[in-house]
Amino acid sequence: MKSDKIRLTLGDWQWNASVIGFINIVGEENVCHIEADTVEFWPEALDGFENKYFAYFINTYEKTLSWYKIVNFQDRLNTYEENNFEEFDLKALEFLNVYIKDVKRYIKSNSYKAAYELIDSEVELLSFEKQLITIKEPKNQQRFDVDKSEIVNEVKRRFLLLQQIINYCASSEGRRYIGAKNAIYNIINNAWNGVSFLNSQTKEKNIYSDYKSYFVDTATGYLQSEKGKYKYNCFVCDAPIKDMSNDLSFLNATGFDVARKSSHVWNFQNDITICPLCKLIYSCLPAGIIYTYNRGIYINQTIKLKDAVRINNKIKSRILRSQDGSMRPIYHALVSVLHEQENDSAKYELADVQVVRYENESYRFNILAKPMLQIIVNSKKELDSLIRVNFIENGRNINVYDEVIGRIFNNQNLFTLIHKMLYGKLSDASKCYFNGSHVRNVLIINQLICSRLGGMKMDNTYLVKKSREAGESLRNKYFNKDSNHKLAGICYRLLNALKTTNENMFMDVTLNCYLYVNSQVPKVITDALGRGKDFSTMGYAFVSGLIDGQDGSGNKEKKAEGE
Amino acid sequence: MRIKVDIETGSMELPIDYRRKFLSYIKSAFEDYNQELYTELYEMGSSPKSFCFSIYFLPEVEIGKEEIILRSKRFTAWFTTPDILMGVHLINALMARRNKWFPLADCDNKLRTLSINNVQERPITANTALFRILSPIVIRDHDNKEMKKDWYYTYEDSEFEIIWKRNLKAELKNKFGRDVSSDINELQIKPIKLRKTVVRNYDIYIPCTIGNFILEGERYLLEYIYKAGIGSRRSLGFGCLDIV
Ligand SMILES: [Zn+2]
């Protein structure tokens, strides 16, 4: 039977992400762009689709999988054995014990157990788990050196076990099934749930067969069926369908976007009926969104499918490039794609494009308005300095870069963030991985934001720089009077005044400080009074100089001017 | 805001219109500190300056008809202002003069600012406050029509309260973003040892009022009067109050 080419045309964001996911899975070479927003492919692309489906996730996210953490130990294991454990020290032992604990935890987890049933092997991995125990760590390196030969013997015994576990996992079947299980519970279930291999009641143990029968076979069967007498139509592609058995309820987080006109119907998505082919495409949604640590991002470029694939792939390679366990800010990839565009018009190709983020099990939407992109483009230097800047607030790690971009996208200024940073620095500096120059850069970006939001004209860096210098200089005067212990209390009072934009309170505290050191209140402070956002900027920059005038580049600048 | 400034004099003799002399000291401090601000304060016509001051001579002191013998060679100038920025500027201007001698205009004396303090204000928590007059209160009725003459009233005159309230209404016309005339009408002065005195200023003798009084009324008005001072000629060193 001759089959026709199948067409996919862009639509709503969730559909678009699914189409991109599908293209990612089958490979762009297997689809044909026939119009800006439409691709075609031959039904043959669906042959063995279940294998391509899992292979995509395993290959793309390989280094983030627990499977990888197990097999990646092979290199270390080889190195120690090759040089006869010469370099094996207490640190190495500690590392090994952590690894052993991880391996034990992984290989006795339910998802691993389920994978064993599919792997054709004599090896009983669970029996290894019981034998695999950590090795007692000596108190210090000296004790370690004394007992080294005994310890190394122990380690060798563990290595024998570990080698078998690694061999088992690293086998092609091990990768195929354990990798797939990892992908299901780390990646795929972010997008959909409750059906096929994610249905807890499923009778099919083989996840590949389950996916094939639930999604792929249904779709190909439908494609070959005689549709002449079908009474219903697919909501997405309008093709005739036999019954109303397929809907979108398997997609997570009811991802409707209230901001878009066509979307009101998505409130009733459980009543929406789709054809089996569209359902198959929707199952590719997790391959369209780029995930990192339970967060996801998708750029909904709706004009050209080719561009959508390209931009999302750029972001994907950015996110995954150095994904070796370090926490990458979700926005960083997006912004670096912006920054790496060579000319201005390319920089703004994302203007008015929708960004979909998946966070805390729900979808969030932003439109990248051009002024926001301009702020991001113009503050590249400052933004870059913030990539690894973190602090801990109430036990939660806060990435300053993400916070800044998030606020830019939401049309908010950064004063509350600056407040949190300074407050954190005052109350527990050990939980704040930043210095004064980072605060200064946040302030400079904030000046840019404020000038976009409310027509401020003052030079972005001047006010911040001068105010910081004023703070630093006052700080030095307190040090000269041996009164630096008073600074923390002063900063708390100033921050409280700034939080409520109480200029009188702020001035009262500052004035008394200057009287205490017998100095005039600097012009940068008196000039900012009564000037709204400028007052806040001045105040926060002043406090940041007062808190840590000693580190960061701010101090160098001050010295250069010979103050 | 209340600012206390301790000042040393070069010699013991001070002219009787020392307020005027001291004012020129302040003016030149402002002129040196910030020309723009100086112009705004002193050259833009008769705009009410937003601070008032009073001078307290430290013992021993003899006050004669033409001059004052200040044996301590020390006096304290008190400044009050409702405008914190004004206060900061004033402090900045005087800060630049700390520990340096500056001549006192048209007389054989000089001044040196020793210390400057921002004194905690007393909170006003009720609808009544007991005020002490630090520098005499001037109530002035300015005849704009023919004579261009000033009439001064002291507490003993029946016009005192009427003119004071009328002037206060004009002063606060745009201050609180609403009409406060009725609140001003409600203000009540209860005298405690109020009496009349005559002060020489720029070759004229001004009748004014000194002593203590209780003021009853809306708290925000009491607060304003506490900080801004009361009556006319405040920038020349009149109408400065404290709470007892
Ligand atoms: Zn369809």
Spatial neighbors of A418 by CB under 8 A, at least 6 apart, are A439, A442, A443, A446, A540, A544
| Contact yes or no for B88 and A508 at CB 8 A | no
Whether the pLDDT of residue A3 is over 90: the answer is: no
> Considering only CB atoms, which chain B residues are within 8 Å of A515?
91, 116-118
Q: What is the pLDDT of residues B5-45, one digit of tens each?
A: 999 999 999 988 888 899 999 999 999 999 988 888 888 76
> Considering only CB atoms, which chain A residues are within 8 Å of B117?
515
Report the pLDDT averaged over residues B212-217.
Answer: 96
CB A69 within 8 A of CB A178: no
Q: Measured in angstroms, how far is the CA atom of residue A22 from the centroid of ligand 1?
A: 14
Phi-psi category of A502—alpha, beta or left, where left has phi over 0 and alpha has psi -120 to 50?
Answer: beta
Measured CA to CA, the distance from residue A451 to residue A448 in angstroms comes to: 5
Q: What is the pLDDT of residues A352-411, one digit of tens each?
A: 889 998 888 888 888 888 888 888 888 888 998 998 899 999 888 888 998 999 899 888
* β-strand partners of A368: A353
Report the pLDDT averaged over residues B58-78.
Answer: 91
- The number of beta carbons lying within 10 Å of the beta carbon of residue B166 is 15
Torsion of CA B80, B86, B92, B93, to 10 degrees: -80
Give the DSSP letter string of A461-508. HHHHHHHHHHHHHHHHHHHHTT-GGGHHHHHHHHHHHHHTT-HHHHHH
The confidence score (pLDDT) of residue A261 equals 39
Q: What is the pLDDT of residues A356-368, one digit of tens each?
A: 988 888 888 888 8
The confidence score (pLDDT) of residue A460 equals 65
What kind and span of H or E run contains A111?
helix A110-116
Whether the pLDDT of residue A258 is over 60: the answer is: no
Estimate the crossing angle of helix A13-26 against helix A49-60, to 10 degrees.
100
The shortest C-alpha distance from A517 to chain B (Å) reads: 11
The confidence score (pLDDT) of residue A349 equals 77
> Considering only CB atoms, which chain A residues are within 8 Å of B95?
514, 518-520
Residue with tokens 């119907």: A265
Measured CA to CA, the distance from residue A426 to residue A544 in angstroms comes to: 10
| Contact yes or no for A504 and B84 at CB 8 A | yes
Measured CA to CA, the distance from residue A49 to residue A30 in angstroms comes to: 12
Q: What is the pLDDT of residues A305-319, one digit of tens each?
A: 999 999 999 888 888
The confidence score (pLDDT) of residue B42 equals 85
What kind and span of H or E run contains A539?
helix A533-547
The shortest C-alpha distance from B30 to chain A (Å) reads: 13
CA atoms within 13 A on the CB side of A473: 20
Measured CA to CA, the distance from residue A20 to residue A403 in angstroms comes to: 28
Q: What are the phi and psi torsion angles at B79 (to 5°)?
A: -115, 140
| Contact yes or no for B95 and A519 at CB 8 A | yes
The shortest C-alpha distance from A498 to chain B (Å) reads: 16
| Contact yes or no for A526 and B89 at CB 8 A | yes
Handedness of CA A264, A267, A271, A274 (dihedral sign): positive
CB B98 within 8 A of CB B212: no
Kindly report the average pLDDT of chain A as a whole number.
87
**A52-66, A204-218, A458-472, B169-183: least confidently modelled range:** A458-472
Kindly report the average pLDDT of chain B as a whole number.
90
Report the pLDDT averaged over residues A107-127.
Answer: 91
Collapse the DSSP code of A330 into the 3-class scheme (helix H, G, I; strand E, B; otherwise coil) and give the result.
helix
Measured CA to CA, the distance from residue A268 to residue A166 in angstroms comes to: 48
The confidence score (pLDDT) of residue A560 equals 34
Cα nearest neighbour of A530 on chain B:
B85
Q: Measured in angstroms, how far is the CA atom of residue B20 from the centroid of ligand 1?
A: 93
| Contact yes or no for B87 and A511 at CB 8 A | yes
- The number of beta carbons lying within 10 Å of the beta carbon of residue A542 is 28
Percent of chain B with pLDDT over 70: 97
Q: What is the pLDDT of residues A427-457, one digit of tens each?
A: 888 889 898 889 999 999 998 888 865 555 5
Report the pLDDT averaged over residues A277-298.
Answer: 93
Whether the pLDDT of residue A555 is over 90: the answer is: no
Report the pLDDT averaged over residues B60-67.
Answer: 87
Range A37-41, long-range pairs (CB < 8 A, 24+ positions): A37/A9, A37/A10, A37/A302, A37/A303, A37/A304, A37/A305, A38/A7, A38/A8, A38/A9, A38/A10, A38/A305, A39/A7, A39/A8, A39/A305, A40/A5, A40/A6, A40/A7, A40/A8, A41/A5, A41/A6, A41/A8
The confidence score (pLDDT) of residue A459 equals 65
Q: Measured in angstroms, how far is the CA atom of residue B162 from the centroid of ligand 1?
A: 87
Of the partner residues A511, A518, A519, the one whose CB lies closest to the CB of residue B88: A511
The shortest C-alpha distance from A557 to chain B (Å) reads: 26
**Per-position b or e across B225-243, b if 16+ CB within 10 A of its CB:** bbbbbbbbbbbbbbbbbbe
**Per-position b or e across B52-86, b if 16+ CB within 10 A of its CB:** bbbbebeeebeeeeebbebeebbbbbbbbbbbbbb
Pairing mode of beta strands A232-233, B2-9? unpaired
Q: Per-residue confidence at B224, pLDDT binned at 50, 70, 90?
A: very high
Cα nearest neighbour of B2 on chain A:
A508
Q: Per-residue confidence at A69, pLDDT binned at 50, 70, 90?
A: very high
| Contact yes or no for B84 and A515 at CB 8 A | no
CB B187 within 8 A of CB B165: yes
Report the pLDDT averaged over residues A471-487.
Answer: 94
Of the partner residues B1, B84, B98, the one whose CB lies closest to the CB of residue A518: B98
Report the pLDDT averaged over residues B155-183.
Answer: 91
| Contact yes or no for A511 and B118 at CB 8 A | yes
The confidence score (pLDDT) of residue A561 equals 34
Whether the pLDDT of residue B223 is over 60: the answer is: yes
ipTM of predicted complex: 0.88
CB B205 within 8 A of CB B197: no
Tokens of A94: 């500690």
The confidence score (pLDDT) of residue A260 equals 41
CB A28 within 8 A of CB A287: no
The shortest C-alpha distance from A336 to chain B (Å) reads: 45
CB A239 within 8 A of CB A233: yes
Tokens of A373: 């992109």
The confidence score (pLDDT) of residue A342 equals 64
The confidence score (pLDDT) of residue A557 equals 37
Mutant choice from A501, A504, A511 vs B, greatest count of B C-beta within 10 A: A511
Tokens of A145: 């050196």
The confidence score (pLDDT) of residue A322 equals 61
Measured CA to CA, the distance from residue A113 to residue A101 in angstroms comes to: 17
CB A418 within 8 A of CB A539: no
CB A543 within 8 A of CB A469: no
The shortest C-alpha distance from A14 to chain B (Å) reads: 53
The confidence score (pLDDT) of residue B29 equals 94
The confidence score (pLDDT) of residue B219 equals 95
Whether the pLDDT of residue A563 is over 50: the answer is: no
- Side chain identity at residue B223, one-letter code: E
Q: What is the pLDDT of residues A169-222, one digit of tens each?
A: 999 999 999 999 999 999 999 999 999 999 989 899 999 999 999 999 999 999
The confidence score (pLDDT) of residue A80 equals 93
> Considering only CB atoms, which chain B residues are within 8 Å of A518?
95, 98
| Contact yes or no for B118 and A515 at CB 8 A | yes
Q: What is the pLDDT of residues A71-92, one digit of tens each?
A: 999 999 999 999 999 989 999 9
Mutant choice from B88, B97, B119, B223 vs A, greatest count of A C-beta within 10 A: B88
Q: What is the pLDDT of residues B109-146, one digit of tens each?
A: 999 999 999 999 999 999 999 999 999 999 998 877 76
Q: What is the pLDDT of residues A273-287, one digit of tens each?
A: 899 999 999 999 999
Q: What is the pLDDT of residues A130-167, one digit of tens each?
A: 999 999 999 999 999 999 999 999 999 999 999 999 99
Estimate the crossing angle of helix A533-547 against helix A436-454, to 10 degrees.
180
The confidence score (pLDDT) of residue A110 equals 93
The confidence score (pLDDT) of residue A325 equals 46
CB A197 within 8 A of CB A210: yes
Which residues of A make CB contacts under 8 Å with B? Answer: 503-504, 507-508, 511-512, 514-515, 518-521, 525-526, 529-530
Q: Measured in angstroms, how far is the CA atom of residue A275 from the centroid of ligand 1?
A: 4
Q: Measured in angstroms, how far is the CA atom of residue A172 from the centroid of ligand 1?
A: 35
The shortest C-alpha distance from B88 to chain A (Å) reads: 7
- Nearest alpha carbon to residue A21 among A228, A194, A192: A192
Q: How far is CA A262 from CA A12, A20, A256, A265, A277, in A?
A: 8, 20, 10, 7, 22
Cα nearest neighbour of A521 on chain B:
B92
